[in-house]
Structure 1
Amino acid sequence: MDNKDIEKQVIESYQNDEKMMILIYAQWCINNGHDPRELYQKAYPDQMKNAALNEALELTVSKEESEEIPNQTVINVLQLFGNDDLAFLVQAEIDQANKNKKLHRH
């Protein structure tokens, strides 16, 4: 295997992992009642359309059909790929949901 082949494999692996990250994010949003496009747009207002997000949304399932995605998992994968602004907004949504749960318990 030469360097070009190795480089190509690394790039393909990264792209596949990135698609998985986007799918995890999109499914987490659906599971938690958030609009994935809207949250993404808040994090990255200068980016008009995200083709990868649209592709991921085609692969999502309903909340009832989905496995639970832990909050920390979605935060970790977003940060791993440098989506810190989006991770920050996701964390804010998690914090708000936790705050609302506490209010409803009293």
Structure 2
Amino acid sequence: MDKKQVEQQVIENYQKDENMMILVFAQWCVNNDLDPVELYKRAYPSQDSNAALAQMVDLTVDKDEAGEIADETLLGVLSLFGNEDLAIVVTEEIQKRKNS
């Protein structure tokens, strides 16, 4: 592989991993009766719609069919990708759930 091919492979792998992070977030939201698009807008109010999020939301399954996603797992994945603002909104929702 030449340098350009290696760079392309790294970019493709990152994009796949990023999509997996988005899918984990979206499925966690579904599992917890939350709207992933609404939470994303709260975290990033100045951003327009997120095409990757919309695509991953389409891949989610009903919470009865999904496996559990631990809160800590989601927060760890968000942290890996530097989504601190989204992690803050998720943490707020976790606290609401624990307080009710």
CA separation in 1, counterparts of 2:31 and 2:91? 15
TM-score (norm 1): 0.92
| 1:67-78 matched pairs, under 5 angstroms | 67-78=67-78
Aligned length: 100
CA separation in 2, counterparts of 1:26 and 1:52? 11
Alignment pair present for 1:51 and 2:51: yes
Q: CA deviation at 1:92?
A: 1.0
* 1:49-106 deviation line (CA, Å, top 9, x unaligned): 1000000011000000000000011111111111100001101111111111xxxxxx
CA separation in 1, counterparts of 2:98 and 2:49? 30
Q: Which moved more, 1:76-85 or 1:12-21?
A: 76-85
Q: Which amino acid aligns with 1:34?
A: L
Name the counterpart of 2:24: 24
CA separation in 2, counterparts of 1:78 and 1:19? 12
Q: Whose Rg is larger?
A: 1
Name the counterpart of 1:62: 62
Gaps of 5+ in 2: none
Q: Percent same amino acid among aligned pairs?
A: 55
Structure 1 runs, 4 residues or longer, greater than 6 Å off: none
Aligned-pair RMSD on alpha carbons?
0.6
Name the counterpart of 1:33: 33
The 3-state SS of whatever aligns with 1:46 is: coil
Q: Which amino acid aligns with 1:75?
A: L
TM-score (norm 2): 0.98
The 3-state SS of whatever aligns with 1:67 is: coil
